[in-house]
Structure 1
Amino acid sequence: MPVARVYLTQLLLSTLYAGLFLSLVPIAAGVAMLLLPPAILHEWGLHPGRAALLQHREALYWLTAGLMSITLAAFYYGMGRVIVLAKPRWRPAYQTTTLLYMLLMSYGVAIALVTTTRPHYRQCEMYTQKLNGGLREYRGEQFRIELCGSGSDADRRDHIRLRIFDEKGEWRAVRYFTVRWGGPYPVLLDYARDHFAYFDASEGEDEDFVKVVPMPPTLADWLSTRIPLLD
């Protein structure tokens, strides 16, 4: 059998094995959340459903990174056993293809993970009014600044999504930050001639929690709204 066909077959099988392995942990966690009594979950500080994902998001990221490292190592080892069968002049091409495929696979897993664990933003009209968003004009062009929130937690912290639309309704920029109701941080957007500022309470008191958004939004802002994970 030609090496190219063996390579493609191994690539498909390795992808299938990697997907099955990475699926085991969320499946096992989901089954455990369903089977364990609510009293035990509450005692451990866990909450069923999406709340658990948000509560332990950072730990989930680290766990996924560890599992992904193991998966990629096994994936490359399996592909390497096929690559050595190729002629020496073709091996660099197969290795490069494998590494690019692994990078693409990691990117896909990262997109799925971040999308799954991202807060559910809602009540956009209320948050827009409450945080001083709405219609603003810069350089003769009108922009709509929309803010949506996830709802405050026990510490009165609220995850906010800020999106900017131009007068044609095109999405031009996005930001994510945290406000703390009743805390020491300002919560209202602060406007200037060529930018506006928001205050991110997630940075901590020792960090620069004032964030500036140039107006009109830049090309980098526009790209970040269209390429996953750049936002």
Structure 2
Amino acid sequence: IIFKSYRFIKTTDSPSEELMKMSPAIIIWLCIIFYGSIFFINDTDCKNYKYNETLNGGRKEFKGKKYLINICGSGVSDNDLFGSSMDRVQMTVLNEQEEVLAKRNYKIFWDGGPGLDPIEISQDSIRYRDDSDPDGEPRTLTMPPSKLDWIAARFPIFNLLIYP
């Protein structure tokens, strides 16, 4: 790949002009990849696995503003080949107009152990535990969510890169 790139740069009179010609195709492919990742990353089922009551979700207030915290799961993965006995959970924070402000994905182990820790609400943050994290340290979502959280909520690939 490096050799082909080098050969491309050496054989063209103006690599920047060629790059400009290719940029619409590059942008289209990046959009397809980012939006296509939505179907592979989001496997939660909010109709069958809604955990607001169990994990302390629902309507909350931070600094005088009301938010809705929805917590949904995907069901426990117990198949023989890829089963981990963990439930993939997605916490979604919405404002009063029900606009998505932040999403966080984490895993819960329901069969004892560290699982079943509900989210902890403080004055300016939400703390949650990811049972797949070997450190076991709680993670924090500051409230109100930042612009980076807003962007990561819309592009799931960024959500995985920023908040693994």
Normalized against structure 2, the TM-score is what? 0.74
AA matched with 1:165: L
2:92–2:104: 8 Å Cα contact kept in structure 1? yes
2:117–2:128: 8 Å Cα contact kept in structure 1? yes
Q: Which residue of 2 aligns with 1:184?
A: 114
Judging changes above 3 Å, is the alpha-carbon distance between structure 1 residues 169 and 116 closer, same or farther for their aligned structure 2 residues?
A: closer
Over the aligned positions, Cα root-mean-square deviation in angstroms equals 3.1
1:143–1:166: 8 Å Cα contact kept in structure 2? yes
1:118-197 aligned within 5 A: 118-123=41-46, 126-154=50-78, 155-181=84-110, 182-197=112-127
Offset at residue 224 of structure 1 (A): 1.9
AA matched with 2:120: D
AA matched with 1:159: R
Greater strand share, structure number:
2
Offset at residue 97 of structure 1 (A): 4.8
1:1-231 aligned within 5 A: 73=1, 80=8, 84=11, 88=13, 90-95=14-19, 97-98=21-22, 101-102=25-26, 105=29, 108-109=32-33, 111-112=35-36, 114-123=37-46, 126-154=50-78, 155-181=84-110, 182-204=112-134, 207-231=135-159
Offset at residue 102 of structure 1 (A): 4.5
Please give the alpha-carbon distance, in whole angstroms, between the structure 2 residues aligned to 1:91 and 1:214. Answer: 44
Normalized against structure 1, the TM-score is what? 0.55
Please give the alpha-carbon distance, in whole angstroms, between the structure 2 residues aligned to 1:218 and 1:156. Answer: 32
Structure number with greater CO (CA < 8 Å, separation at least 6) is 2
Q: What percentage of aligned pairs have identical amino acids?
A: 21
Q: Which residue of 1 aligns with 2:162?
A: none
Judging changes above 3 Å, is the alpha-carbon distance between structure 1 residues 153 and 212 closer, same or farther for their aligned structure 2 residues?
A: same
Deviation string for 1:84-137 (max 9, x for gaps)?
3x5x2x33321465478547635633542x334325211357311111100110
Structure 1: unaligned runs, 5 residues or longer: 1-72
Please give the alpha-carbon distance, in whole angstroms, between the structure 2 residues aligned to 1:115 and 1:172. Answer: 17
Structure 2: unaligned runs, 5 residues or longer: 79-83, 160-164
In terms of Rg, which structure is larger? Answer: 1
Aligned length: 150
SS in 1 for 2:77: coil
Please give the alpha-carbon distance, in whole angstroms, between the structure 2 residues aligned to 1:127 and 1:203. Answer: 20
Offset at residue 219 of structure 1 (A): 1.8
